[in-house]
Amino acid sequence: MIKRGPVDVVVLAAGTPRFDGSVFAELKRQTAAGTIRVLDAMILLKDEAGRAWGLDLEDLPAEEKAAVGFLAAGTHGLFDAEDAGTLIEGMVPGSAVVALAIEHVWAIDLVNALNDAGVEMAMNFRVPAPIVDEAFAALAVN
């Protein structure tokens, strides 16, 4: 029996960041629904002069910290300085990067049911959403 779902590490890059809260609101909604659990998040910024820094989510003021209330307790720290360094290397001046470790909570019961039924995972891969959209659009044309 598994206790955790599979985890995706997602790195989101913004050449011209617009932090309007909508992404965090959706992460909060998905977390509240029990679909995902956000295990860790790392926000990196690089100014026009090429200086880079990370926002420490633990040190945010109370009102901003509430916006990241979707982060699971006790899992912060999965990303480290080496991860930050690797991501900063690829950043262009004036950009931002958000790295998220997202656990697929929805999969826990399904995987346990499959295991109980004697089913083993034979293959697993992810098809990116834009490719799925293209495939369905091509089916609709034919």
- Render pLDDT for 22-32 as a digit per residue (tens, 0 to 9): 888 899 999 99
**Whole-number pLDDT of residue 12:** 92
Whether residue 136 is predicted with pLDDT greater than 90 in this model: the reply is yes
Q: Say whether pLDDT at 104 is over 90.
A: yes
In what helix (H) or strand (E) does residue 100 lie, and over which residues does it extend? strand 95-103
Q: Do the domain assignments include residue 2?
A: no
With respect to residue 129, please indicate whether it lies within any of the assigned structural domains: yes
**What pLDDT is stored for residue 57 in this prediction?**
77
Give 106-129 pLDDT, tens digit per residue. 999 999 999 999 998 888 888 989
Burial class of residue 40 in the structure, from the number of CB atoms within 10 Å of its CB (0-12 exposed, 13-18 middle, 19+ buried): buried
- Specify if 37 maps to a domain: yes
Q: Which domain holds residue 75?
A: 7-141
Answer yes or no: is pLDDT of 45 > 80. yes
Residue 99 pLDDT level (bands cut at 50, 70, 90): very high
Instruction: Tell whether 73 is covered by a domain.
Output: yes
Neighbours of 96 (CB within 10 A): 18
Structure confidence at residue 89 (pLDDT): 95
pLDDT above 70 covers a percentage of the chain that reads: 99
Average pLDDT of every residue of the chain: 90
% of residues, the chain, pLDDT over 90: 66
Burial class (CB in 10 A: 0-12, 13-18, 19+), 54: middle
> Could you tell me the CA-to-CA distances from 11 to 3, 22, 87, 114, 121 in Å, in that order?
25, 17, 9, 30, 26
| Tally of structural domains, the chain | 1
In a domain, 29, yes or no: yes
* Pair 36, 102: CB distance under 8 Å: yes
Whether residue 18 is predicted with pLDDT greater than 90 in this model: the reply is no
Residue 34 pLDDT greater than 90, yes or no: yes
